[in-house]
Amino acid sequence: MSILSSIGRLATEFSAARARYQTERAIHALPIELQKDIGWPEAADAKTGMRYGVGAWAGAK
């Protein structure tokens, strides 16, 4: 594995993680009722204060 392929892989993972974060942020900006309508899993936990994020920036392997 060359250094360029490693850098490319890291850049791809970072880009995907950033897209997930931006999507999560946009969905959290919606009203709770709308989040429930689209089936966002965290809408049910909003009352308890529990929040599950996307995890590590590199994602699960």
Which residue ranges make up each domain of the chain? 1-61
What pLDDT shows up at residue 40? 85
Global pTM value: 0.58
> Tens of pLDDT along 9-43?
999 999 999 999 999 999 999 999 999 998 888 65
The reported pLDDT for the residue numbered 13 is 96
Farthest-apart Cα atoms in the chain, separation? 49
pLDDT at 61: 47
Q: What is the residue-wise DSSP string for 1-61? A: --HHHHHHHHHHHHHHHHHHHHHHHHHHTS-HHHHHHTT-GGGTTTTTT------STT---
Read off the pLDDT of each residue in 46-57 and give the average, rounded to a whole number. 53
* Cα–Cα distance for residue pair 45/50, rounded to 1 Å: 6
Q: Could you count the other beta carbons within 10 Å of the beta carbon of residue 43?
A: 19
